[in-house]
Amino acid sequence: MEGNLQITGVSLTFLLIVIAIGLSYYQKLGVEKELGISSVRTVIQLMIMGYVLEYVLSIEHFLVVILILFCMTLFGAYTSSKRSFQIEGVFFISFISILLGVTISLGVVLVANSIALKAQYVIPISSMIISTSMNANSLALTRLRAEIISNRHQIEAALCLGATTKQASNSVIKSSIKAALIPSIDRAKTVGIVTLPGSMTGMIFAGISPLYAIKYQLLIECILIGSIAISVFCSTLLSYRKFFTTDDALDIQL
């Protein structure tokens, strides 16, 4: 790949972060600190992961790969649960939902022998699954809570008429799932036209044929859509019941 990927060249790109922080300060958005901290964390986390992957890829021990994926899922669930901390047991719900999405989607790909069972393939693809599922999960749970709060009177009326908690919450569950899926649907509509995904771009940068890179990108897109759908369905169906008491009354402490 041509260009300057030495430390000086990469460091200069941080001017873009400074611009973003400056714009936030100018518009009084109040996210300057968060931008700065997230940028520093990005550098530290990527450097740590780089050294970890150097070690993992050299030993090719599958138990080590499983441990890394487990830790990534834990951290993804923790990050996702912070957005909806008001929901009881949200960390466990997020963890189970993300883990289920990763396990099923990755399992299908491995069974189909679309990728080799090697760390250099499993870890990068799993990281994409976990990150997208984490974001979709956060969006679904945040939207679910907001929908229940705004539609609480309709839900209470349905309960009074004899509806079950699932029946009373059906519309808000559907709305939450749909809201969480929309970004992925829109992304799928524009991929290849507006968006050239990072994985495909990286392969092209490495000198691989674009037609060959497209095959892997199609595989990844199917994996991501499937894992997101699984994770979102699981998280919403596990969490909606947390908004009701044991006697099926809507919890007013929302």
Tens digits of pLDDT across the chain (254 residues) = 445 555 565 666 778 888 888 888 888 888 888 888 888 888 888 888 778 777 777 766 778 788 888 989 999 999 888 877 788 888 999 999 999 988 888 888 888 777 777 777 788 888 888 988 999 999 999 999 888 888 888 888 888 888 888 888 888 988 898 888 888 888 877 777 777 776 777 777 777 787 777 877 788 888 888 888 999 999 999 988 888 887 777 775 54
Predicted model pTM: 0.75
Q: How far apart are the first and last CA of the chain?
A: 53
Query: Of 136, 93, 25, 55, which is closest to residue 240 (Cα–Cα)?
Result: 93
The angle formed by the CA atoms of residues 227, 219 and 128, to the nearest 5 degrees, is 50
Q: CA 170 to CA 70: how far, in whole Å?
A: 32
Nearest one of 119, 88, 95, 93 to 106, comparing CA atoms = 119
Q: Which residue has the tokens 């705004």?
A: 150
What pLDDT sits at residue 44?
A: 86
How far lies 50's CA from each of 65, 111, 226, in Å? 14, 28, 28
Candidates 176, 198, 194; CA nearest to 186 is 194
CB atoms within 10 A of CB 111: 8
Q: Taking the alpha carbons of 190, 77, 127, 173 in that order, is the dihedral positive or negative?
A: negative
DSSP letters for 95-143: HHHHHHHHHHHHHHHHHTTSS-SSHHHHHHHHHHHHHHHHHHHHHHHHH
pLDDT for the residue numbered 1: 47
Q: Please say whether the beta carbons of 126 and 69 come within 8 A.
A: yes
Q: Tell me the C-alpha distance between 138 and 245, whole Å.
A: 23
Which residue in this structure is represented by tokens 């991501």? Answer: 224
Domain ranges for the chain, please list them. 1-59, 61-243
Distance CA 201, CA 10 (A): 18
Closest CA to 141 of 176, 91, 171: 176
- What Cα–Cα distance (Å) separates residue 250 from each residue in 168, 206, 246? 10, 55, 10
